[in-house]
Amino acid sequence: MGRLDAVTPPARVVDLGILVSILVLLATGVASMFAATPSTAWVYVTHGVVGVTLVGLVALKLWRVRRRVRARPTGVWTSIALAVLALAALATGIAWVFGLELDLGFWGLLNVHIALGLLVVPVLLVHLRRRFALPDRETVTDRRTALQMSGLLVGGAVVWRAQQSLNRVLDTAGARRRFTGSRPVEGESGNDFPVTMWVADDPDRVDLDTWSLRVRGRVDEPFSLDAEDLAPESETRALLDCTSGWYAERDWQGLSVGDLLEAADVRGDAGWVQFRSVTGYKWSLPIEEAREALLATHVDGERLTHGHGFPLRLVAPDRRGYQWVKWVEEVRVSRSRDLSESVAIFVSGL
């Protein structure tokens, strides 16, 4: 027994800790796609603290298996691939937190982090099939083990907290980051903020001669609006926070969705309102929330540019950016949610 063994948790407990950490990171990572209000900040805090803790656990594990790798046991390549992916996911997450940037065309550092994190899953499953073994109950409930594991988690929390403070000094945008980790854009107003696509949308400029907005579904008076009917009568100040890690707060002018729904005479059983893009991209809001949303024609008084969704884009306060559908041509009211939209946002434009 080396000195390290005396202070570190038993091997199988470390392994279980790694598994649980990865599951928590996955769950909070996915949840962060929906967590857009400060009350959900715990999702991001948990992701950060568990991420730091996992660094410690992986270090312990790699130290333990460092010699075994050379003997090339069966499954060693899966194990190596898993280690590389996990370390790359952790490294990109850490780099992101420290304010590093990466520009791979339409992918930034945070997208790479998400992709690596998701890639861990299949490799982990293969690895677990071969090597999964639970520690025995006494080892897990052992007081000393519990203390060691709590120590690691508390250590993770302390490092995470210290990093947050350090960022205020190191990262020029650190102090202005949101609880989501997003940094403010450089542009100050109007259309001056990044044009971002979720996956592959890249439509031609919308032709106003053929475009119209249709309001239909569970309504008694479906109708269409042409481009000349788009009077920007409502205004909302709202913050667009993209999951690729930037945010921009703007005044948006356009049509109140509440007014449109009223004009269409929504039926009593309506529950959801879906916004559809000319590209097939679509997303829904519960009807009460939709009434508060805006279909913007302008931003800070400037006509929206094509990239930002001209002639009409959804402004959904308290939602993450990918839900702010651009180039909207249809508002569809329905009873229940259209689950196909979670696929549509990945395949539209392909």
Ligand X SMILES: Nc1nc2c(c(=O)[nH]1)N[C@H]1C(S)=C(S)[C@@H](COP(=O)(O)O)O[C@H]1N2
Least distance (Å) between residue 224 CB and ligand X? 19
* Nearer to ligand X among residue 22 and residue 112 (C-beta): 112
Are 240 and 193 within 8 A, CB to CB?
A: yes
The yes or no reply on residue 123 touching Mo ion (CB under 5 A) is no
User: Does residue 104 contact residue 112 with C-beta atoms inside 8 Å?
Assistant: yes
Binder of Mo ion out of 108, 174, 311, 321 (CB under 5 A) = 321
Between CA 257 and CA 31 the distance in angstroms is: 27
Closest to ligand X by CB, 117 vs 309, is: 309
Q: Where are the alpha helices (DSSP H) in 68-108?
A: 76-97
Of the candidate spans 128-136, 172-180, 193-201, 295-303, the one that interacts with Mo ion by CB under 5 A turns out to be 193-201
Cα separation, 213 vs 309, in Å, equals 13
Residue 130: exposure state from Cβ atoms within 10 A (0-12, 13-18, ≥19): exposed
Site for Mo ion contains 242 (CB under 5 A):
yes
293 binds ligand X per the rule CB under 6 A: no
The answer to the question of residue 322 lying near Mo ion (CB under 5 A) is yes
> Judged by CB under 6 A, does residue 32 bind ligand X?
no
Among 44, 160, 272, 281, binds ligand X (CB under 6 A): 281
Task: Give the residue, chosen from 238, 294, 325, 331, that forms a contact with ligand X under the rule CB under 6 A.
Answer: 325
Distance between CA atoms of residues 41 and 48, nearest Å: 11
User: Is the distance from CB of 311 to CB of 333 less than 8 angstroms?
Assistant: no
For ligand X, the closer CB: 44 or 281: 281
Query: Which residue in the set 61, 250, 319, 326 belongs to the binding site for ligand X (CB under 6 A)?
Result: 326
Enumerate residues 195-234 that contact ligand X by CB under 6 A.
Answer: 195-198, 201
Q: How far is CA 299 from CA 189, 201, 206, 215, 333, in A?
A: 8, 21, 18, 23, 26
Nearer to Mo ion, 92 or 243 (CB): 243
Instruction: Return the closest-CA partner of residue 293 out of 248, 323, 269.
Output: 323
Query: Nearest residue by C-beta to ligand X?
Result: 321
